[in-house]
A and B are shown apart, each in its own frame.
Chain A
Amino acid sequence: MVSAPRHVACVMDGNGRWARQRCLPRTAGHRAAEAAVIDVIEAARASGVRWLSLYAFSTENWRRPSDEIDFLMGLVRRTLRKHALSMCARGIRCRFLGVSDPRIPPGLARDIADLVELTRDNRGMTLTVAFDHGGRRDIVEAARALIRDRVPADLVTEESFAEHLPHPDTPDVDLVIRTSGEQRISNFMLWQVAYAEWVFPEVLWPDFRAEHFHECLRAYRNRERRFGDVRSPNPMVKGIR
């Protein structure tokens, strides 16, 4: 198997632990995450990945202390503005998944809308940032949408359901990378990860770099994806350590 996975998603875990190991405030871990994000975007683009999704902030993350949330919102805004031009220049189309909570500061919401508008026609790679995202919420929203569209029950199929999810042109996720060794789904793109391969590198997100990303892609290539078929054996389920 030679080709790169079409859609790779990263659950960026371990910022807090990274900071604690260095006796730094949690916010320092978030700040250090920026370099990893930029490195991974570039590595994915260079490896021919067409769709990259990053789990930046979950609907559950609102439970964190308010000063950490304020810091995160500011950090996301600064990072987004800093790299907007280079995203656009590299032909990356940026989209956001979620972003519906009224607690998101209007300035950030404005910048997000601007970045989406700016990169709308880019066709290089689609970067989906899951921000204020919850997989279950998306599914509930899709169900609501079906009911509002008055789709008769027997016409509700997996395909028609998927068309009502946000960004319905997004393909299924092929590979999920969750850093820091944690092995949970955490309500991330539940519908789209149904057939995804998962890898759980031990490295914490702020230390995650292009070489780790390539390692994950190698692990993915070595797996045989069966989509529930039984005709060939399934040699490994283990993630890289």
Chain B
Amino acid sequence: MSAETAVEQPDISILGPDALLSEYCQDARWGLAVVRATVLEAAHPQIGAALIENSTFVAHPWRRVFNTLLSTQRVLDADTRVRDKEAARLNRLHARIAGVDPKGRPYNAMDPDARAWVVASLFESTVNLSRMSGVTMSAEDMERLYAEFRAFLVLLEGNADHLPATVEEFWPYFEDVIERGLENTEAMRIILFELFGHMPAPPLLRGHPTIWAAGRVMAGPVISEFLKGTLPESIRQRAGLGELPGSHALARGVYMGTGVAARVLPQSWTRTDTMIGLLDPSLSNDGSGSQLLSALRRQQTRAAALIRLLSPISGDSSSSSAGSAARSADRFFAEVLDQTGDGYVSWPDIAAMAREVGSRLDLDEDTEERLFEAYAGWWRELASALDDDGDGRVSRAEYAAAASTMASPALVRVAEVLFDATDADGDQSISAVEHRALFRTAFSRDVETTGQDARYSRSEFVREFLDFMSGRQGSAGYESLLAQA
């Protein structure tokens, strides 16, 4: 897309609670549009490389969906300061993602064409899925929605020069990118062929692996076929999907079905927040509404504790303690450290943790910078202590061999900075509200028994963080932040 003609820039003030996009992103089905858009994004060589190298999408697919929704909600916030802050945060996040793909081509998440494509595929997916649900968008609505997406790009980039000015011009642009700009990238293949086969359970079902596994066996192929059925023909051919009779009809059926459900079920059930709340009670951000759920959840953890205590001791008791310590280091490595799921810990994994904390706490630039620096310091320490073969990453074996014996001043530094970032009002202790902002859950320790004005002190916070990050002790809060979703 050329930027030669001075096109009129949309007014970013059309973003907000009254935007058409607001309605869409409150409908739980919009989640499917986000997933579909991700496939289109992944087929873009620059974005595909960035996803493979940096994103936690494969290892933590739920998190990516939740974060996209959260980010969209912030961009549509009534308060313009919230929107600007989110745009600045997204820009900082993207500025950290750059590198060279396996074919030696540089990629950069700040590339204006690539970012325009992200917005374009979100727009196209929203229109496309709306059509499939049986409600064709009016030309007026479509123009309005398009202007909103362009305004979104203006908010990020300062201009929308890399997207055509009107909807009429958009479709040829979209076709053109599909035909000439996209590739059969590894990232796209992973999403289409692997992701839904081994997608981890959403947090609610984490305690019920069998239910999730059974559901996934049925739902996985359906969602995956649904996605394939909705993709543009030429992408399907390039991905080797060929002609799949029935796939398109299935896609239609799924979306029509959810459309009918949306009409039959109480409105609140199909709202995005409700769905997310059900999938992951810890993410419902209003404390009041989720109290029942958190009470239920607490009952659930207690029941799980009882079941574990009553079930016979499994084989690990007979083996040597050194063996089981290594096994627990292994599990910690897979569930927490290896955020990108490639079997190694490298800077993108550590950066993903910093990124997750940054988006949860909605940090300002300085604090975020300090957090990234602290994490970078920890990474340097990890790499110099554990990367024996010097390949710039730490393998499972390297981690298991030495991790438990490692003393880690840089990790203490991370804990300190994390405490400062979480302690939003700077009173040197974490209140219930601040705790909720980071972990999305209420206090779960003995803190609540020591008084009505329960708080976490710096030392308690640091100690719990170190216990968790050294793999010694579980922590519901950190697990929901870094291991689950």
Contact = CB atoms under 8 A, between A and B. Distances in A.
A77 interface: yes
A115 interface: yes
Interface in A71-95: 73-74, 77-78, 80-81, 84-85, 88, 95
Contacts of A85: 306, 309-310
Q: How large is the interface on A (under 10, 10 to 19, 20 to 34, 35 or more residues)?
A: 35 or more
B366 interface: no
A115 B301 CA distance: 11
B328 interface: yes
B321 A81 contact: no
From DSSP, what is the main secondary structure of chain B's interface residues? helix
Interface in A103-153: 103, 105-107, 109-111, 113-115, 117-118, 120, 144-146, 148-150
Contact of A103 (B321, B428, B458): B321
Contacts of B467: 100
B328 A149 contact: no
Contacts of A106: 316, 324-325, 327-328
Interface of B: 301-302, 305-306, 308-310, 313-314, 316-317, 321, 324-325, 327-328, 404, 428, 446, 449-450, 457-460, 462-463, 467, 472-474
Contacts of A109: 472-473
A164 interface: yes
SS class, residues of chain A in contact with chain B:
helix
Contacts of A224: none
Interface of A: 70, 73-74, 77-78, 80-81, 84-85, 88, 95, 100, 102-103, 105-107, 109-111, 113-115, 117-118, 120, 144-146, 148-150, 164, 167-169
Given A78-B313, A146-B459, 10 more contacts: A84-B306, A85-B310, A95-B446, A100-B472, A109-B473, A111-B308, A114-B305, A117-B302, A145-B460, A148-B458
Contacts, number: 84
Contact of A168 (B309, B313, B450, B474): B450
B458 A110 contact: no
Top 10 closest pairs, chain A to chain B, by CB:
A145-B459, A114-B305, A148-B459, A84-B309, A106-B328, A117-B305, A105-B321, A118-B305, A149-B458, A148-B458
A114 B308 contact: yes
A105 B301 contact: no
A167 B327 CA distance: 30
